[in-house]
Amino acid sequence: MVKIPVIRTHARGLVTKFFSNPIAKILIALKISPNLITVIGFLVTSYSAYLIAQGDLVLGGSIMFVGAGMDMFDGAVARMAGRESVFGAFFDSVMDRLGEAMTLFGLLAYFVAEGDSNGIYLSFGALTVSMMVSYLRARAEGLSIPGDKGILGRPERVVVLGVTLIVGLPSWGLGIIVGFGLVTILQRGIHVWKNANR
C-alpha cells in the first residue's frame, strides 16, 4: 500500500520541478525577495477571505489557491538564490498560519451572516484542528522529531477547502478538515510518543 507521505513527497517533487522552480527563476531575475513574496501571498489570501465573508465563494476559493500557491515560490526563490535564513523560514510559517486563520474566519463570518449554526461550529472546529495540527508539527520538530506525519497537512487542507468552496460545498470541506484533522492529530501524537520513548 502506497503511504500518504510518499505520494505527498512525489507530488511536491513534480510541482517543484515543472512549476515552482521555473517561476522562481523569473522572480529572481526581477529581484523580488522571498519575504516580499510571502507578504504578497498573505495579502492575496486575506483578500480571498474577505470575498468568502461576502459570500463570493467561487472567486474567494479561486483566489485562495493563488495566495496559497505563492507559498511555493518564496521557498524556491530563497533556495535558488542562496537567500535561505532562519528568520525567513519563521516568517513564512507565521504568515502561512495567519493566512489560513483568515480564510477560516472569512468562512465563519459567511456562516454567521447566513445564520448557519452548523457552519459556525464547523468553522471553529476546523480552525482549532488546523492550528493544533500545525502546533504538533512545530512542537515535535522542536524536540528533534520529524513532525510532518499524518494524512492531512496544510497543503491537503488548502486543496480540500479551495475545491469545496468553488463547488459551493464549504460545510463539506470543513467537515473533512475536522474529521481527517483529528486523525492527523492522533497520528502525529502517536508518532511523537513512539519516538520520544526510544
Q: Delineate the domains of the chain, giving CATH numbers in brackets.
A: 4-196 (1.20.120.1760)
Distance of alpha carbon 2 from alpha carbon 133, whole angstroms: 22
Contact at 8 Å (CB) between 143 and 192?
Answer: yes
* Residues 8-55 pLDDT 10s: 666 666 666 666 778 888 888 888 888 999 999 999 999 999 999 999
Contact at 8 Å (CB) between 157 and 177?
Answer: yes
Count of CB atoms situated within 10 Å of the CB of 3: 10
* Residues 109-138 pLDDT 10s: 999 999 999 999 999 999 999 999 999 999
Tell me the pTM.
0.87
Contact at 8 Å (CB) between 76 and 133?
Answer: no
Distance of alpha carbon 63 from alpha carbon 135, whole angstroms: 26
